[in-house]
């Protein structure tokens, strides 16, 4: 069995400004760095075998902070990237409320297929290990929905730098 600590990156400038980040790199705020440091401290005694993150900067930076005391490198994968919001990317979220969704947004089926591929990768490459994975709010929700066989709306939203322990 693989133990997966699934975490969300720390707070970003775009989180604060309510900008749809999608698959942009993002930058941690000072608060986001502090959140990652608090998560690092809370996980200092965990016996991690590997650390993996989305290849987007906000997740890599968060993972690097948490991985430091464990002396582990951060492997990256695009499978953990946030949902691709297409032409909604970079827009102010409150303004999107009544707009029709454009055709270039990653579908839920595509997102869940990516989540399933990530879970398969973890089972295949990290069988029997304990892994920290740092992703993003919606992909993390999709990973849990696929793992538990539940609709995404039944999975509680993850806060910045929140971690959940999953058994694969």
Averaged pLDDT score across all residues of the chain: 97
Nearest one of 24, 57, 54, 61 to 39, comparing CA atoms: 61
Reported confidence tier of residue 70, pLDDT bands at 50, 70, 90: very high
Q: Which of 124, 137, 133 has the alpha carbon at shortest distance from 165?
A: 133
Q: 3-class secondary structure for the chain?
A: CCEEEEEECCCEHHHHHCECCCCCCCCECHHHHHHHHHHHHHCCCCCCCEEEEECCHHHHHHHHHHHHHHCCCEEEEHHHCCCCCHHHCCCEHHHHCCCCCCCCCCCHHHHHHHHHHHHHHHHHHCCCCEEEEEECHHHHHHHHHHHHCCCHHHCCCCCCCCEEEEEC
Percentage of the chain lying above the pLDDT 70 cut: 100
Please tell me the predicted confidence (pLDDT) of residue 129.
98
The pTM assigned to this predicted structure is: 0.96
**What pLDDT, on the 0 to 100 scale, is given for residue 41?**
98
List the end-to-end C-alpha distance of the chain, in Å, as a whole number. Answer: 6
């Amino acid at each position: 069995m693989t133990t997966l600590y699934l975490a969300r990156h720390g707070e970003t400038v775009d989180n604060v400004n309510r900008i749809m980040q999608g698959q942009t790199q993002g930058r941690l705020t000072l608060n986001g760095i502090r959140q990652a440091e608090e998560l690092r401290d809370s996980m200092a005694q965990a016996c991690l075998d590997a650390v993996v993150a989305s290849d987007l900067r906000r997740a890599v930076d968060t993972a690097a902070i948490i991985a430091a005391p464990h002396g582990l490198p951060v492997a990256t994968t695009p499978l953990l990237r946030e949902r691709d919001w297409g032409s909604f990317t970079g827009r102010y979220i409150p303004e999107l409320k009544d707009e029709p969704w454009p055709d270039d947004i990653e579908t839920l089926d595509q997102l869940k297929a990516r989540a399933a591929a990530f879970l398969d990768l973890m089972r295949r490459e990290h069988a029997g290990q304990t892994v920290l994975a740092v992703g993003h709010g919606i992909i993390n929700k999709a990973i849990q929905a696929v793992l538990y066989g539940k609709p995404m709306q039944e999975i509680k939203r993850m806060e910045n730098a929140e971690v959940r322990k999953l058994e694969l």
